[in-house]
Amino acid sequence: MQGAVFVRQAGVLYRSTFLCAVCDGVVCGYTIGAPVIGGSEAAWVIRLGGCAILRGRGNWPRSDAGP
C-alpha cells in the first residue's frame, strides 16, 4: 500500500516528470522524476516501473510500426 500512496503523491508533486508508457492502449510502465532546483532542465529519476513481461527488451513491438 505504501508504494501506491507514493505514486499518487508523486503524480501531484512531479506532474511534469510523471510519464506513462502505453503499448496497444494498455499502460505498461511509468517513470517519476524530481526536477533539479535552480533553473536546470535536469531531473533525478525517482522511480521507474514496467510490466514484467516487457522488461529487458529495450524496445517492444508497437502497433504503429510498419512491417
Residues 18-61 have pLDDT tens digits of 888 888 888 888 888 888 888 778 888 888 888 888 777 666 56
What secondary structure letter does DSSP report for 63? T
**Is the pTM higher than 0.95?**
no
Long-range CB contacts for residues 29-38, cutoff 8 Å, separation at least 24: 29/54, 32/7
Report the SS3 class of residue 38. coil
